[in-house]
Chains A and B, each alone.
Chain A
Amino acid sequence: MVRNIVVLGGNSHPALVESVCNMLGLPACNRVLTKFSSGESRCEIQDSVRGKDVYIIQTGFGGNGSKLNDHFMDLCIMISACKTGSARRVTAVLPLFPYSRQPDLPYKKSGAPLFKASSEAGKKDYTFDSVPATPAPGLPRSAGLINGSDITSRLAKTALTNGTGSMSPVKQTNGDGFFHGVNGQGLQTPGFTTHDYENGSHIGAFQAKPGYKQWVAQAGTLVANLLTCAGADHVITMDLHDPQVQGFFDVPVDNLYGRPLLKRYITTHIPNYKEAVIISPDAGGAKRATAIADSLGMDFALIHKERRPTKITDRQNASMMLVGNVADRVCILVDDLLDTGNTITRAAKLLKKEGATTIYALLTHGVFSGDAINRVKASAIDKVVVTNSVPQDEHKALLGSKLDILDISPIFAEAVRRVHHGESISVLFNYD
């Protein structure tokens, strides 16, 4: 029994809340968290939080009919309600941090980059094709330059013709007519504003103004700021996609690691694990994967997205290259997040081609969005192992024995206990 502590759960992951509460030996705080019929969140906290140490558990996952943004707003409202209810300290516990992955390109709904014609994606339920995230030779430098007209000389011309400007109180956007001309497509009144994201053709039609590379919102900093502005004094999360996100906060952030759990799984569930190879499916995750490989004394290999033009023999894996040897060995793919499953399934395909015998995929967060379930089912991966940082019941039902789930509630319960008592948390980082 821990005193003076209140654990408040959101609607995103009730099972985890219950499990953490059980381990701490206290009941979850009574609350009403629903929606008014207008769509506004309704939050009533029924137990006193005055002078208490409040931990609010809400994971960044929407599914099963609930919405990610609703959960995030609920979290902010709960934090704010506890703060105004005179809580001593409010800690936001986000097992999966929402908006932690910063896109470097506009993505379409399925998670693949927008640059490629969307007609390709419609062919199958899922596709292994994707275009490298950075402009490559042979591809247009930006969406606006597709017709290859010399933009700089054209721009110079507009500047001249617009020199006088119009005199109406609200100036017409100069040059608009010109830009439409360049694009050569009839720009009807709604312009390029695409409000209707359900309509794929609209998104395909979106183009930045010629000469302007589009600006994609990077919501990570915003989310961090919103949590602090709502009143969070402390944030606990797990395996942030970019550890730099910690720097977005002005309050302490404890980034827990799923690594010990994954390591334990490898040592207990994979026969002859010393002979297996740890694989990072992309260069960004190499550090994460080597950390596990080093501590277990295992071999390591890396898959790297080749962005130079190569002789294309196998189109589908043209951009993937394996560094290291996996022939006739068990492969363990390690990454932090499975979202649409594109990276990991493509990596598995490559590994199979290179002669891997069995392929495991170990990931901290299994979001399985879009057609990820089908993609994983159809892939060469023999076993996917994820933690319950987001609810996994539905995924388990769909994937069956292909999916193993690791329980993270002991780590979070221990983190909450230690933070509450002011004990060091670093033990949890090196925990074996």
Chain B
Amino acid sequence: MSAEMANEIKLISGRSHPELSEKIAKRLGIKVARTISLNYSNQETSFTVGESVRDEDVFIVQSTSTGDVNEGLMELLIMISACRTASARRITAVIPNFPYARQDKKDKSRAPISARLVANMLQTAGANHIVTVDLHASQIQGFFSVPVDNLYAEPSFLRYIRENFKTEDCVIVSPDAGGAKRATSIADHLNTAFALIHKERPRPNVVGRMVLVGNVEDKIAILVDDMADTCGTLVKAAAVLKENGAKSVLALVTHGILSGNAIETLNSSVLQALVVTNTVPLGDKVERCPKLRVIDISPTLAEAIRRTHNGESVSYLFNHAPV
């Protein structure tokens, strides 16, 4: 092989979100590498690379599909390790939805800091670089000693709002105090009003009482958050906003995990629409939930991969969404 052929982008896809990998590959004008992942009958995961990755710039795209987080994570680790032992020059794990991002602190005795464990595992397996989208807490970057590019869905959301609504009719609402920063940033960019809902959470996946701070009367209330899991928070928040006189309520969420009864909860809620990105595979949820709208995040990821490969700055993507 000639020298020019070495060190190209090798895009490797895990089993969790092949559609996203295909979109990224198409955008980059390359083909997804020939690989095969399967589970043996004893459930061990096997991964085979069907082409040389020696001295190549390897990008492994693996999201975490709802309900099968550990399976996807283990597969990702095995893929990284396989490319490392196959002499890849650099391995970048593209993890749009970082697993265990919510277990990022020791909030009670002997609670596992699983996000840190995942970070250590990725590095142990041999990842040299991480690309992810909207980390639950950006401090998770500190769990790594390799570079982490935390991309934002915010530019895509801003474009969506500008294209679909008159910004002066909107008010941006954060459904909890933790997301206030994310929401204010969007409100500032759009130059709109901002409100906040304060909630009490007695147990995980259960939502308590909610209080609205701010005015949403006769406005389109846009809830902004980083993940929608069981959607309990969003739906309750939407109800609170309606009670307080909002004209309509929609939600913009980066990661649509939508586990448990999320779809049924959404369908029977006052939410007008839930807009998510395709960081998490949605499967048949789009058909099952007419309120679900999907923004494609693959241009941002593809551009981040291209820039990372060519050694260009990625920070442009923090404020701009490629079309």
Contact = CB atoms under 8 A, between A and B. Distances in A.
Nearest to B84: A222
Interface residues of B, number: 86
Contact of A216 (B48, B116, B306): B48
A418 interface: no
B125 interface: yes
A406 to B, nearest CB: 20
Interface string A170-212: 1111111000000000000111111111000001001111001
B125 A226 contact: yes
A215 interface: yes
Interface stretch (A158-166, A275-283, A286-294): A158-166
B164 interface: no
B5 A162 contact: yes
A99 B306 contact: no
Contacts of A218: 82, 85
A209 B54 CA distance: 14
B22 A190 contact: yes
B121 A229 contact: yes
Interface stretch (B66-74, B147-155, B180-188, B287-295): B66-74
Interface string B97-121: 0011011001011111110110011
B40 A76 contact: no
B144 interface: no
A69 interface: yes
A230 interface: yes
Interface stretch (B29-37, B213-221, B235-243, B270-278): B29-37
A9 interface: no
A208 B8 contact: no
B52 A212 contact: yes
Contacts of A62: 42-43
Contacts of A162: 2, 4-5
Given A172-B29, A219-B81, A107 B309 contact: no
B205 interface: yes
Given A39-B259, A193-B33, A215-B86, A45 B41 contact: no
A217 interface: yes
Nearest to B106: A84
Of A39, A44, A192, the most chain B CB neighbours within 10 A belong to A39
A85 B110 contact: yes
B177 interface: no
Contact of A190 (B5, B18, B82): B18
A108 B22 CA distance: 24
A92 B41 CA distance: 25
Nearest to B230: A37
Nearest to B310: A169
The 5 closest A-B CB pairs, nearest first, are: A370-B41, A217-B82, A81-B112, A192-B34, A85-B110
17 contacts: A37-B260, A39-B259, A40-B69, A43-B112, A44-B108, A62-B43, A69-B71, A76-B121, A77-B112, A99-B44, A111-B41, A170-B30, A194-B37, A214-B48, A217-B48, A369-B43, A371-B41
